[in-house]
Amino acid sequence: MTINASSSAASDAAAISSQRVAAHARIDVAFRHGRSRLARLYQDGAAKIRLPGTRSDPLEAVLINMAGGLTGGDRLGWEVGIGDGARCVITTQACEKVYRALAGHAQVDVNLSVGKGGFLGWLPQETIVYDRAAFSRRLDADLAARAEALIVEATIFGRSAMGERAVHGSFRDRWRISYEGRLVHGEDFFVGPDIETTFARPASTGGRIAMATLLLISDRSEVLVEPARRIIGDDGGVSTWNVAGTGKLLARLYAEDGYELRKRLAPLVELLNGQAGLPRLWSL
């Protein structure tokens, strides 16, 4: 029997495309009758949002990808709208896993907005990147006057405890954060195709495969720098600025593996998140 290679490849690509995730969810939170309450919830496809304790303030919401992970061709979108004076902490049910991509890349789009005097803690658990994964994330946030936001993204390239290594692949992360219409933070991070080789360089992470970025937009930023430095230690750093009439704190952490990263990441999030502390799912 003769197999046409091109038609076989086309059939495989079509099959992969037809099975890919295309999901989107949005949550809006409003301050009503003395506390933050759910105002609107939209869910489509594998993207789900749950509210384990609707009487808490800040309101806590949990994002769930029912597909159990991401791979090439998947598209996932999260939108969060926080009204004037409302407060909300967003986390995930578990670590997001990005698996090997047979074709294309996994795309996650995050859009956040915070009204006047509102607060948002964007605190997903770690993203785990497997060998030969292809991943791209775009995170956009728009804050109104006197609004605060703590935005955290942590990534682990391979689970060393399981003997897994992310040797090759592609990982891209783009952030754009605005305050009262002015850009106050922008960054583009890319690593690939030789992930392990890149991280092994002394000018990179010196072989450390777990990392986190924490951005706090708040007038509280300056007083938190020294406590944050004591938590971070030598594997990372923290700086603060006054920009566009508010404060900005940027911290980065590096570690040998996910366990070592979490030991410093959890207390740092608890410090920067103020009275909201750690999401309950982080402490399990």
Does the pLDDT value for residue 18 go beyond 70?
no
DSSP letter, residue 224: G
Q: How far is CA 254 from CA 118, 148, 207, 214, in A?
A: 30, 25, 10, 12
List, for residues 153-176, the tens digit of each pLDDT value.
999 998 876 778 889 999 999 999
Q: Give domain status of residue 240, yes or no.
A: yes
Q: Give domain status of residue 16, yes or no.
A: no
Q: Give domain status of residue 8, yes or no.
A: no
Q: Quick one: pLDDT at residue 20?
A: 81
Band (44; pLDDT cuts 50, 70, 90): very high
Q: Give domain status of residue 9, yes or no.
A: no
Cα separation, 181 vs 192, whole angstroms: 33
Q: Give domain status of residue 238, yes or no.
A: yes
Does the pLDDT value for residue 98 go beyond 70?
yes
Q: Give domain status of residue 7, yes or no.
A: no
Name the token pair of 153: 């993204």
What is the residue range of 65's domain?
21-283
Q: Give domain status of residue 3, yes or no.
A: no
Distance of alpha carbon 136 from its chain centroid, rounded? 12
Cα separation, 178 vs 102, whole angstroms: 36
Q: Give domain status of residue 246, yes or no.
A: yes
Query: What would the mean pLDDT of 24-30 be, rounded to a whole number?
Result: 98
The residues, any chain, with a CB within 8 Å of residue 89's CB and separated by 6 or more, are 58, 59, 60, 61, 120, 121, 123, 273, 276, 279
Cα separation, 4 vs 51, whole angstroms: 51
Count of the separate structural domains present in the chain: 1
pTM of the model: 0.91
Q: Which residue has the tokens 């366990």?
A: 259
